[in-house]
Amino acid sequence: STESNPIRATLFPGDGIGPEIAESVKQVFRAADVPIEWEEHYVGKEIDPRTQSFLTWESLESVRRNKVGLKGPMATPIGKGHRSLNLTLRKELNLYANVRPCYSLPGYKTRYDDVDLVTIRENTEGEYSGLEHQVVRGVVESLKIITRQASLRVAEYAFHYAMAHGRERVSAIHKANIMQKTDGLFLKCCREVAEKYPEITYEEVVIDNCCMMLVKNPALFDVLVMPNLYGDIISDLCAGLIGGLGLTPSCNIGEGGIALAEAVHGSAPDIAGKNMANPTALLLSSVTMLRHLELHDKADRIQEAILKTIAEGKYRTGDLGGTSTTTEFTKAICDKL
């Protein structure tokens, strides 16, 4: 039974409000009887030479072994000669796709009430390859790298995701009319993968037009897949459509089926330790983790309890205009479960 064989998952509570909102996830999982046993890992106090960062080798090994994890926000300690925590995670675990489901929260009013889309961002190359140099004085060059391998990999994931989540359409976002070679190759790879999924409608949308359509009528979109830079911008735009980064979950997909879910916001040092943080983004991220594990029942129940609590409006944290503490809001969710 799942009771005697719990699934092990890595938990990085992180810094600042991280431990408070991670505690909230642990309580909610307990209330919903989720068969997960957390393996907690903390950011080290010293640089681990094996990772060249404050993240320990053991913590990375834990994610590799468990293949699933949840990460709170991490504030990169100041110092020279080490890699940032997020970069270390991305490189070491080869996190190639960033997935952000964006849906309107009932009862939390924004300009739109019918957003239900997912952005899938290629996370390893494109303009973020870090290849910039000066050619001559006054002229610099930045290389945008697009490879067939990384494009196929993220396209495969997007279509797989669409199928697994009952989605109907995948839109590839591009600027291939100008970036003919790079975005052209990205689109070619998306088309190849699309052919293997005749059940899913495939379309291509130019990035500028996509932005206009998103702000005019976000309900037009279902699953969007795109290269790194476009994904960085569009995913934040979409977070804005539903009320901001404090509510948006995300999940990083890595080589070998690794899924590392994380809230998009930072460690909020201004409210850390004050029992004021809104745990919604991390909770909804933990729901994406459960979906990755195909624990859809548990995911549905927890998501519903969170959304109902916010919709009722009796218990809301300060950032949503309420007066509840993190613990009160968490308790309200647990009571629903």
Q: How far is the CB of 337 from ligand NAD (least distance, A)?
A: 21
47, 154, 271, 287: residue in contact with ligand NAD (rule CB under 6 A) = 271
Q: Binding segment for ligand NAD among 131-139, 140-148, 191-199, 260-268 (CB under 6 A)?
A: 260-268
Query: Is residue 77 a contact point for ligand NAD (CB under 6 A)?
Result: no
Query: Is residue 249 a contact point for ligand NAD (CB under 6 A)?
Result: no
Query: Is residue 330 a contact point for ligand NAD (CB under 6 A)?
Result: no
Query: Is residue 278 a contact point for ligand NAD (CB under 6 A)?
Result: yes
Query: Is residue 336 a contact point for ligand NAD (CB under 6 A)?
Result: no
Q: How far is the CB of 21 from ligand NAD (least distance, A)?
A: 6
Sketch the per residue contact string, 281 through 310, with ligand NAD: x for CB under 6 A, - otherwise. Answer: x-----------------------------
3, 114, 195, 270: residue in contact with ligand NAD (rule CB under 6 A) = 270
Query: Is residue 246 a contact point for ligand NAD (CB under 6 A)?
Result: yes
What is the gyration radius of the CA atoms in the chain, in angstroms?
20
Q: How far is the CB of 285 from ligand NAD (least distance, A)?
A: 11
**Residues lying near ligand NAD in the complex (CB under 6 A):** 17, 73-76, 86, 246, 262, 265-271, 277-278, 281, 319
